[in-house]
Structure 1
Amino acid sequence: MTPIHLRGGAGALPPEAVRHVMTMLAISKPGDPYAGLAVVKEACDGRSLADFAWALFQRWQAAGYPSRESWVMDAQALLGDDETVRRLTPLIRAWPGEGGHARAVTGLDLLASIGSEVALMHLHGIAEKVKFSGLKNRAKLKMDEVAAELGLTPQELADRLVPDFGLSADGSLTLDYGRRQFVVGFDEQLKPYVADASGKRLKNLPKPGANDDPELAPAAYRRFAGLKKDVRSVAGDAIHRLEQAMVNRRRWSAGDFGRLLVGHPLLWHIVRRLVWGLYDPSGELRGTLRVAEDRSFADVEDDTLTLPEDALVGVVHPLELGEDLAAWSEVLADYEILQPFPQLGRETYGLDPALVAELEAAKIPTRAVIGLERRGWRRGAPQDAGWQGWIERDVPGGGTITIGLDPGISIGYLDFADEQTLVGLELDGLDPITTSEILRELRDITR
């Protein structure tokens, strides 16, 4: 078995003691661990315990996940850590496609039980983007439960679930090899890059060499590997959430904007590449700003701007900018700022009858229609034989827009029809931003 090491380098548990630990795990119940496990966790190295639990899991996996030994799954919640989360999440995402939906749902409970920022971050990622709708919905329910316990909305919880990954206040990370140091930075898509002490970007982080510190260098190398995995998980979701915040006109208080976005060592890499709006309580735009390199605020004339304490802040939509759109585009071009998603250069549409007719005449791949779920659309409630004949989407203000599908989608048999036609595309009465965004989303899937 994988050894269990005592804290402080005091050796490893003898085989008989390891068997006792396994017995403690086997007789523990979710939410009611055997009392002796607390003594074990106090005496033994946490990383070693997590590795031991994962070795048990791998044996259970190799044996075909026998249900009588399902305590091994619970053991991951009792002894697991963030590395357990990273190892388990890809399996949770894949299990429904292998006939393991119930096991995947148990995995969601496990992530919630571990409860670290990284665990909840991955749980949120499953709730936002996984191809199995049943698992996705269960993950959303789990996230709603966690949010409710904390007195937050799911969106507010998501803001608080982005770990700082141990980054410094300026959003960088120094990797110490002893004789050599490297600095990690992030681009507009939150992809990490490495620079040497002179600031020169490298293709990859060098592997530890013979002249590097034998303890510092391997630890720094492992840390960067873990950072890349974690940031890859959070980056796409963070960018998507901010784009949806622009589309749905979500607002932050000045305090939350400064603390959760501008002050976050990772997210601020995205925040400073966007143009933000200042809004009054009625939703009217009162001013615009960007976040400068020193985290101060500047207006379109590049003059320093002070954020009012009672301000509401949101990602401004290009349709709101009017004549300032060109000016802001010039500012970002002057500073060579690349945006994480289309904002200033975003395609916008008015309610053009010719475009509506074009969309209704288009033959759209069924899988492209299903892909709209990533943008907040839902398939209609299943009818007879699992047939889904429409798609729907909530709109700001509490309404819902519904568009028919011909011939429709069959649950469990997505190849029932290769193409769909949109039926009854009625957008009258919607505000210009919502109209533009719906037409943009539909135009995207017809190309």
Structure 2
Amino acid sequence: MYPELEVFNTDVAPTGLINAAKQFLETGDPSVPRGVSVSQDIWDAESTGSNLVTDIGWNENTEKLLRFFIYLSDGNPGPVVHPHMYLVGVLNAVLSEDSKVRPEVAEAVADGIDEHHQNLEEFIEIFLNSYARSNAWDLSDPANSQEPFVNPVANLVFRNIGSRCLKDPSSLSDHSGLFGALAVHRPEITHAWAEQALSFKSWHLIATWSEIVKVSDEYDESCLTYCKNIPNDDAADAFRILTELNDVRGGKYEDVLIEAASRPQAALGHEGLELLFEKIPARVVEVMARAFEIPDAGQHTSFTNGPAYTKLFSKIRDEWDSSGASLLRNVISNYSSYQIGDLLKERLTNLKPQHYPVLRDSFLTQVEKQSPQDRIEMWRIMAETYPRACLGDFENLLKGKSKPLRELSAKVVAKERGREVFKEMEELLGSRKADSRLGAAAYFEHLSDSTAAAILKSAVEIEKSEKVRDALRKAHSACEQDSDVDSEPSAMSLQEIEAEIASLANRMKLPKCKWLNIEALPQLVTEDGTLISPKAAEFLIVKQAKHKLIEIAPDALPLLSHLERKNNAEFAINLVEGFLDSDQVAADRWALTLGGLLGDQRIIPPLLSRIQGWCENSRHKLAEYAAQAISLLPGDEPLMVLDTLATRYRSKFKNVGKACAAAFEAAAVARGITPDELGDMVVPSFEFDEDGVRTFEWEDGSISAELGPDFKLQWFDAETEKSWKSIPAFVPDEVKDEVKLLNKMIRETMKGQTARLELTLVRQRRWPVARWRELFENHPVLKSFASRLVWGIYDASGSLLRSFRRYPNGLLADAAGELEELPEKSVEIGMIHPLELDKESLDAWRAHLSRMKVKPPFPQLDRPVELLDPLHGNRKEITISRDKEVGAGTFRSRSEKRGWVRGSVIDAGGISSIYKQFPGAEIEVVLPTNNFWIGIDPMDTVELSSAYFVKEGTVERGSYEYDEPGPDDPRVLRFDQVPAVVYSETLADLKAITYQAEK
């Protein structure tokens, strides 16, 4: 009866409230809403009010419902805000910067509230505390004391601001745009706010003071007093306010501004430092030395790779004897730990030995502040930058308990001191402390000096610790490889291995994991079927568990060389399943390694089913370990899985994607081909023949399956021609298990190839005819993809000659059904992009696919197309995204889904841009961002700039790299320098990403 009541979400709205609204629509009695008690969630209430003016047509009943919300608000005075939130939602929707509320509706809302609300000052206080969009106050006529704003609701708010709104200066400051009118027309409010603000500390006030001083000099003294009273912790805020004040007053307050810039917190900012260089260059190093005395001063710096900081760091050397040494000491001691690497690698690159004592002392001060894990990273940075400054410290760490620091220090000492400490390290091999002996072994391993081989061999013979003995053997092997003799280790016989296992039987300690039941594991079997001692499994696990990488442990290699997958797959599967059924502690990753070394394709589905969950629950390392374990399996199926995962996680959960891509690329390098070529090769046939048929046999019978165009299996008996839609019940369980695994792998292949082929379309990849036939015309899996896509024949210059499609029966024909014969030479085959077809051809193919009921695996001919206007060929700036704001969660989801990845991580975890690469064209597009950072709340807003095309590899990225291109950057390409497909795909992406901002 009342469609307007659809604004209420009946799932959450109180029934009494909806009934009262209906009664009010019928009677118009104000006492009805004023008597309602409301306790609904404030967000649902606000959403209801917003829906009133955005989703419902404005009419008499809509206006009545507005009055219902007004009476509901003014009839419920007091601290409970729920009844007011419906009306707050109305005002939010009208005042929103992207509001689509019609002007006449906005005016009706303002008039209705002005006429009917009896407690406007109280309501405006609640509204301002609930609404914090300071850019929604656009001025129309600043001289009009009653109607200064464009929006009539903004004027309503402006007129009804009273003393209640001054109880908390920050709540009014959230709406800095109001102060351009308040400072001129309501000085009593502005002065009262300024007086209270003197004792209030908040960054919110920066924008507010800016609005005030721009329109009136009446408040200058209050502004100066406020800035003077700002504590040192917020001196940067005072500097920003005074910069604005000084600019609008033509330099009148320059002395005050320089004094503000000299305060430590302000001086650390790039703008403050630039001013100091401009006005008091002789004092800069002295001022900055004091500034960096602040604990964690690095957290307050900005743009440290900019010209001002570059000049400052160079002055450390120039003014070493005055303040340079103090500056270096304080910079290193008080920089944020995550900035030290960038500082030493990129900024302080030319320090001399005379600077090393100060560098070392301040570095050790910084190290003491860190956690054990962060200390390792700090020492790694020093090893990469100024190892000789801390050479004595590295020699001490060589004898310490931390294995990572021992290994790092051994490498440094071996490289920097070489044989100078050879005798000292030889003596260390006889130390009573195992850690010292381990450090000496690591030194000799990195030294790789053949003269140490005999020393190490002797040390192995008398060493009692198994752990140290393993390290000595490893060092001995490295030193032997440096000798002239053939040092290839001879393979140990099975008898020798059994003897070693027997000698260690009473000393082996299995890893501590509750899920491991060693007695329940199948006994290991050699290549010829010989059972090995039950202790072999224990030996193998102990040795592999000590090796942290997902690869063969050197000590396990002799035994593994006698084992064959087929005979030991059940052992591997048992370990993998035990790990997956446990708490999946990262320390137990050895089970995944042995699964990859001894298992078969059966371990892939359970690992795949867990990888996504691990990623979503921030257990990315486990996902990486699983991918690396899959890479240890033989055959094409594991490589296909890695290729799929690399594509799936190329932007989201990038570490997992990188691990998969690295393993896949390593396999390609090993075969001497490109990753793209390997991607073509590893699509498995799953033992289907060219007709898509596979026969499953068992002792008393057989059955055949045909892989259909929909990738589903159709079952039949080749002899009787009897058929079934699903696998018959008489098929043995072991065959059913095999088919179950097959179906899982086919589904994974479909997902992976769909993503890979769409990426291939965007990249415009081509194949020689013979190779295309192998891949798409005859391959039992890919031919189904080939039949659902439109293909093009291209000449040597890349120009399209003709287009065709592969029919399911193998025939090739054009859109009209005319058969096509492929030339065997001088042409290539690729997927058609809609940009390459004229309208007539495109319509013909769309009609053909519709008539044949062919559904492409991904949008091909119907993908969005953006054409370049020839008159705009000399332009460089993609303005679709300029000044757009998008919800952070939406922005991240949409961009990552389309293959965009984040750029540099800068101050406070900010992300400076996102970008997308088009490798085939050697071009990438960069979209700079503001207010975007790691860990951003999905409900926050990301601000976007214009985007730019550049040549691939010309933009530097990394920690604190500020290298995003701008409109005048010489690296930016003109639109007519960009391939049409790259231009089209980019604009389509940006429109999709920013769509919400235009709604």
| TM over 0.5, shorter chain | yes
1:271 aligns with 2:819: no
- Gap change, CA 1:217 and 1:288, over 3 Å in 2: same
1:443 aligns with 2:995: no
1:281 aligns with 2:802: no
Alignment counterpart, residue 867 of structure 2, candidates 339, 350, 361: 350
- Gap change, CA 1:363 and 1:174, over 3 Å in 2: farther
* Number of the residue aligned with 2:582: 62
Identity of aligned residues (%): 23
CA deviation vs aligned residue, 1:24-72 (integer Å, no higher than 9, x gap): 3433564344434444538x734433333335535xx6365373x6543
Alignment counterpart, residue 79 of structure 1, candidates 591, 594, 598: 598
* Number of the residue aligned with 1:407: 931
- Give the 5 Å matches for 1:205-224: 205=726, 208=729, 212=730, 216-224=731-739
CA deviation vs aligned residue, 1:303-347 (integer Å, no higher than 9, x gap): 231332332111011111113212222333333322112222333
- Gap change, CA 1:62 and 1:237, over 3 Å in 2: closer
1:431 aligns with 2:976: no
Q: Which has the higher contact order (CA 8 A, sep 6+)?
A: 1
Aligned equivalents of 2:702 and 2:601: distance in 1? Answer: 28
Deviation at 1:116, TM superposition (A): 2.8
Aligned equivalents of 2:615 and 2:847: distance in 1? Answer: 48
- What's the secondary structure of 1:304's corresponding residue? coil
1:19 aligns with 2:538: no
Deviation at 1:363, TM superposition (A): 3.9
- Structure 2 counterpart of 1:405, which letter? T
Aligned equivalents of 1:97 and 1:327: distance in 2? Answer: 44
Does structure 2 conserve the Cα–Cα contact (< 8 Å) formed by 1:332 and 1:338?
yes
- Structure 2 counterpart of 1:438, which letter? T
Does structure 1 conserve the Cα–Cα contact (< 8 Å) formed by 2:648 and 2:755?
no
Deviation at 1:21, TM superposition (A): 2.7
Alignment counterpart, residue 328 of structure 1, candidates 825, 832, 845: 845
* Number of the residue aligned with 1:227: 742
Aligned equivalents of 1:95 and 1:248: distance in 2? Answer: 31
Aligned residues: 425
Structure with a larger share of its residues in strand:
1
CA RMSD of aligned residues (A): 3.4
- Structure 2 counterpart of 1:167, which letter? F
Structure with a larger share of its residues in helix:
2
CA deviation vs aligned residue, 1:92-144 (integer Å, no higher than 9, x gap): 44445556444444433322222432222222222222332222223222222
- Gap change, CA 1:296 and 1:39, over 3 Å in 2: same
Alignment counterpart, residue 294 of structure 1, candidates 809, 820, 841: 809
Does structure 1 conserve the Cα–Cα contact (< 8 Å) formed by 2:765 and 2:830?
yes
Aligned equivalents of 2:663 and 2:525: distance in 1? Answer: 35
Q: Which runs of 5+ in 1 are unaligned?
A: none
- Give the 5 Å matches for 1:182-261: 183-187=705-709, 190=711, 192-194=712-714, 202=725, 205=726, 208=729, 212=730, 216-261=731-776
CA deviation vs aligned residue, 1:156-196 (integer Å, no higher than 9, x gap): 221112111122312244567988957453445x4x25466
1:308 aligns with 2:801: no
Aligned equivalents of 1:426 and 1:6: distance in 2? Answer: 61
Deviation at 1:438, TM superposition (A): 1.6
CA deviation vs aligned residue, 1:8-34 (integer Å, no higher than 9, x gap): xx9x96xx9433233234335643444
* Number of the residue aligned with 2:558: 35
Does structure 2 conserve the Cα–Cα contact (< 8 Å) formed by 1:127 and 1:136?
yes
- Give the 5 Å matches for 1:381-392: 381-392=904-915
Aligned equivalents of 1:20 and 1:426: distance in 2? Answer: 61
* Number of the residue aligned with 1:114: 633
Aligned equivalents of 2:844 and 2:589: distance in 1? Answer: 61
- Structure 2 counterpart of 1:318, which letter? P
- What's the secondary structure of 1:402's corresponding residue? strand
- Gap change, CA 1:145 and 1:405, over 3 Å in 2: same
Aligned equivalents of 1:292 and 1:99: distance in 2? Answer: 45
Aligned equivalents of 1:5 and 1:115: distance in 2? Answer: 19
* Number of the residue aligned with 1:398: 922
- Gap change, CA 1:146 and 1:182, over 3 Å in 2: closer
Alignment counterpart, residue 137 of structure 1, candidates 652, 658, 671: 658
TM-score (norm 2): 0.39
- Gap change, CA 1:154 and 1:367, over 3 Å in 2: farther
Aligned equivalents of 2:798 and 2:668: distance in 1? Answer: 26
- What's the secondary structure of 1:283's corresponding residue? coil
Decide which structure has the larger Cα Rg and report it: 2
- Structure 2 counterpart of 1:73, which letter? L
* Number of the residue aligned with 1:166: 687
Does structure 2 conserve the Cα–Cα contact (< 8 Å) formed by 1:273 and 1:340?
yes
Does structure 2 conserve the Cα–Cα contact (< 8 Å) formed by 1:261 and 1:271?
yes
* Number of the residue aligned with 2:902: 379
Aligned equivalents of 2:765 and 2:583: distance in 1? Answer: 48
Deviation at 1:233, TM superposition (A): 1.6
Q: Which runs of 5+ in 2 are unaligned?
A: 1-519, 873-877, 950-974
Does structure 2 conserve the Cα–Cα contact (< 8 Å) formed by 1:329 and 1:344?
yes
- Structure 1 counterpart of 2:585, which letter? Y
- Gap change, CA 1:248 and 1:73, over 3 Å in 2: closer
TM-score (norm 1): 0.82
- Gap change, CA 1:304 and 1:284, over 3 Å in 2: closer
Does structure 1 conserve the Cα–Cα contact (< 8 Å) formed by 2:521 and 2:571?
no
Deviation at 1:152, TM superposition (A): 2.0
- What's the secondary structure of 2:912's corresponding residue? strand
Deviates more, 1:383-392 or 1:71-80: 71-80
- Structure 2 counterpart of 1:422, which letter? L
Deviation at 1:83, TM superposition (A): 0.9
Aligned equivalents of 2:880 and 2:943: distance in 1? Answer: 11
Deviates more, 1:386-395 or 1:300-309: 300-309
* Number of the residue aligned with 1:154: 675
- Gap change, CA 1:119 and 1:287, over 3 Å in 2: same
- Give the 5 Å matches for 1:44-63: 45-55=567-577, 57-58=579-580, 62=582
CA deviation vs aligned residue, 1:289-313 (integer Å, no higher than 9, x gap): 2113332422344223133233211
- Structure 2 counterpart of 1:386, which letter? G
Aligned equivalents of 2:808 and 2:607: distance in 1? Answer: 37
Does structure 1 conserve the Cα–Cα contact (< 8 Å) formed by 2:879 and 2:946?
no
- Gap change, CA 1:418 and 1:350, over 3 Å in 2: farther
- What's the secondary structure of 1:114's corresponding residue? coil
Aligned equivalents of 1:72 and 1:329: distance in 2? Answer: 52
Deviation at 1:257, TM superposition (A): 0.9
- What's the secondary structure of 1:344's corresponding residue? coil
Does structure 2 conserve the Cα–Cα contact (< 8 Å) formed by 1:207 and 1:221?
no
- Gap change, CA 1:425 and 1:133, over 3 Å in 2: same
* Number of the residue aligned with 2:891: 369
- Gap change, CA 1:122 and 1:306, over 3 Å in 2: closer
